[in-house]
């Protein structure tokens, strides 16, 4: 039984916990091995298609920066531009103090981990890890030491003479990482490195990557479309859409203070409820917004002067901030109850047909499908401009 990429199937595979060898990793760490990556006005066009538009973004030295966004948002293109695999249409990329716009990939001193792992199939694990050192004409004795250290730090010693085709998905992933760390580059570029792993292995590798980064201290730019990876791994998250940067910030800050409707809907699981409404009153930090099933009343950040009563807005409310109860002010009908064990996701239909998701604790008794319920808000609500989607409260 094999998976699509030829490795043994995840469910039959014995997942051994990977313990990073602290001593071995410490050897790999060095102070100058970490560089700031700065993008200024970076633009990339393919013909008339704009893949990346006027991007300004900095990954600080030693930082774990995650580029997050849906497929086709340009995040992988940004990574490939940093690596030098694509030519810039406009702007500047700096790695450390060097402008690298016209520098070949091989001279940029960054290592890349590909989604496919891109292991050389005809070479053994040892030769794969050795490849960047050979390419740089590192003398043989030093090469052997470095390969051993990298292999040790990723628990690959017993696999050194195998070929990639004989490895499981998780093992291939570790070989790809070993090949990246072996020459101590100034930065790692990772393009959805965990997306080919099964769910359990992905959670493990996530922890290993965080650990590896903490020990090596090298700058990481990490591309993913998985918000859980982004939230758990990144020092900061940069959210992209259609080639444009939407917001950059620490995971919690982005979650708590989304800059626009797109970020609000993209971060958080289950996703934030977004409804059309009208501001009814905004006095004393308690805002009332009229939606189709009634008036939702809750705390918001201070409303700006240009958000007067009667203004059409998009209202955002996280499922965990909504409650079902007699004190609720919005009428809805339960149309679906998903039991997840520790909690229920209750989908409620408003009179205009729009759906609202409410998170109910697993210990509570959820309403039944078809019940008429009243919804209230115990947390914050977010207000966005109905046309531009830009956040207007706070």
Partner 1 sequence: MRHRRFSTRIRDASTGYLFILPALAVFAVFVFYPLVKTIYLGFYQTPPFPNLPSKYVGLSQYRHVLSSSSFLDGLRTTVQFVLLTVPIGVVLGLALAVLAHKRLSGIRIFRTVFSSTVATSTAVASVIFFTLLDPQVGLLSYWLGQQGGSGILQSPTWALPAVSVTTIWQNLGFTFILMSAALQSIPDDLLEAASVDGSRSAATFWRVTFPLLSPMLFFAAVIGVIAGFQAFGQIDILTQGGPEGHTTTLVYYLYQSAFQQNDTGTAAVIAVALFVILLVLTLVQFRFVNRRVFYAD
Contacts to partner 1 by CB under 8 A: 6, 83-85, 104-108, 110-112, 114, 116, 118, 120-122, 131-132, 134-136, 163-166, 179, 183, 189
Please state, in angstroms and rounded to a whole number, the distance separating the CA atoms of residues 394 and 365. 35
CB of 127 to partner 1, least distance (A): 9
Is 189 or 377 the residue whose CB approaches partner 1 more closely? 189
CB of 163 to partner 1, least distance (A): 7
Please state, in angstroms and rounded to a whole number, the distance separating the CA atoms of residues 338 and 344. 5
Contact 257, 246 (CB under 8 A): no
CB of 197 to partner 1, least distance (A): 17
CB of 210 to partner 1, least distance (A): 23
DSSP string of 331-355, one letter each residue: EEEEEEEEE-SSEEEEEEE-TTS-E
DSSP 367: P
Is 136 or 312 the residue whose CB approaches partner 1 more closely? 136
Is 114 or 371 the residue whose CB approaches partner 1 more closely? 114
CB of 5 to partner 1, least distance (A): 11
CA distances from 229 to 188, 222, 241 (A): 16, 10, 18
Is 172 or 236 the residue whose CB approaches partner 1 more closely? 172
Is 80 or 255 the residue whose CB approaches partner 1 more closely? 80
| H or E, element range at 53 | strand 49-59
Is 134 or 312 the residue whose CB approaches partner 1 more closely? 134
Q: Which residue, chain included where needed, has tokens 């538009």?
A: 53
CB of 133 to partner 1, least distance (A): 9
Contact 43, 90 (CB under 8 A): yes
Note if the bond before 335 is cis, omega within 30 degrees. Answer: no
């Amino acid at each position: 039984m094999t998976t699509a990429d030829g490795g043994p199937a995840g469910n039959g595979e014995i997942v051994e916990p990977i313990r990073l060898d602290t001593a071995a990793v410490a050897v790999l760490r060095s102070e100058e091995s970490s560089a700031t990556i700065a993008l200024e006005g970076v633009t990339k066009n393919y013909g008339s298609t704009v893949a990346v538009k006027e991007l300004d973004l900095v990954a600080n030295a030693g930082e774990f920066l995650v580029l997050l966004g849906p497929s086709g948002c340009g995040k992988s293109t940004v990574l490939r531009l940093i690596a030098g695999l694509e030519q810039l249409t406009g702007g500047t990329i700096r790695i450390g103090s060097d402008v690298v716009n016209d520098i070949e990939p091989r001279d940029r001193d960054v290592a890349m981990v590909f989604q496919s792992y891109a292991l050389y199939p005809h070479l053994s694990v040892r030769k794969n890890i050795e490849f960047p050192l050979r390419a740089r004409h590192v003398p043989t004795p030093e090469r052997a030491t470095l390969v051993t250290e990298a292999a040790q730090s990723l628990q690959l010693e017993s696999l050194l003479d195998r070929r990639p085709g004989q490895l499981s998905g998780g093992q291939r992933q570790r070989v790809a990482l070993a090949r990246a760390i072996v020459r101590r580059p100034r930065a790692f570029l990772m393009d959805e490195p965990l997306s080919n792993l099964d769910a359990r292995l992905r959670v493990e590798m996530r922890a290993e990557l965080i650990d590896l980064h903490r020990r090596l201290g090298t700058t990481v730019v990490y591309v993913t479309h998985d918000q859980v990876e982004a939230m758990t791994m990144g020092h900061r998250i940069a959210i992209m859409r259609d080639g444009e940067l939407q917001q950059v910030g620490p995971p919690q800050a982005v979650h708590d203070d989304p800059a626009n409707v797109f970020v609000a809907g993209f971060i958080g699981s289950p996703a934030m409820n977004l409804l059309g409404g009208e501001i009814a009153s905004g006095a004393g930090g308690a805002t009332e917004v009229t939606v189709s099933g009634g008036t939702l009343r809750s705390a918001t950040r201070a409303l700006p002067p240009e958000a007067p009563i009667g203004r059409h807005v998009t209202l955002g409310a996280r499922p965990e901030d909504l409650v079902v109860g007699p004190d609720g002010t919005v009428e809805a009908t339960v149309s679906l109850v998903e039991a997840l064990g520790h909690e229920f996701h209750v989908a409620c239909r408003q009179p205009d047909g729009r759906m609202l998701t409410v998170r109910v604790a697993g210990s509570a008794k959820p309403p039944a499908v078809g019940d008429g319920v009243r919804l209230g808000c115990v947390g914050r609500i977010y207000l966005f401009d109905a046309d531009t989607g830009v956040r207007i409260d706070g």
